[in-house]
Amino acid sequence: MRHVDFSPLYRSTVGFDRLFTMLDSLAQPEGGQTYPPYNIEKTGENAYRISVAVAGFSDDEISIEAHRNVLTIKGERKEESDEDGKELLYRGIAARAFERRFQLADHVDVEGAALKNGLLFVDLKRNIPEELKPRKIAISAAPAKTKQIEAKAAN
């Protein structure tokens, strides 16, 4: 895929930096990042849910941060100690650290997060301010103003 250079547009536009950054990031793959897998679903008219598979992570090993329309989910496993003299023969459950970033649209807020059965659920809600919502304009019937022209009576 061809890379488009937006730098000439930065000089001639004001306030579109975020748009060009998003377009530029779409052209670049995430480096083949596939871990951890996730789903994004719409749960209502203005409600969304991100589900991230974080098997083996506890709630204190996961951090969630929302800052300037970017939701960042990080996970880092603590080292397990071999107190019981156990020896791990095969590791099939991923224990590597991860960081996932999600671009959020304007006016999307994080409502909460829950960890259940190895899945992290992050609930999002779109809160559009009243002044940005479309509003219905009532059409009133205006009284027809007729201008009467006075005519002289014929003699």
User: pLDDT tens digits, residue range 75-101?
Assistant: 998 776 656 778 878 877 777 899 999
Q: Describe the chain by its helix, strand, coil percentages, rounded to 5.
A: 15, 30, 55
For 34-48, write each residue's pLDDT tens digit. 788 999 999 998 899
Which stretches of the chain score pLDDT less than 50?
Answer: 1
Q: Which of 140, 117, 97, 129 is nearest to 51 (CA)?
A: 117
pLDDT of residue 10: 63
pLDDT of residue 85: 75
pLDDT of residue 17: 64
Q: Indicate yes or no: pTM above 0.85.
A: no
Tokens encoding 27: 């052209």
Q: Which domains are delineated in the chain?
A: 1-32 (no CATH), 36-79+92-129 (2.60.40.790)
From the centroid of its chain, how far is CA 26? Answer: 14
pLDDT of residue 6: 64
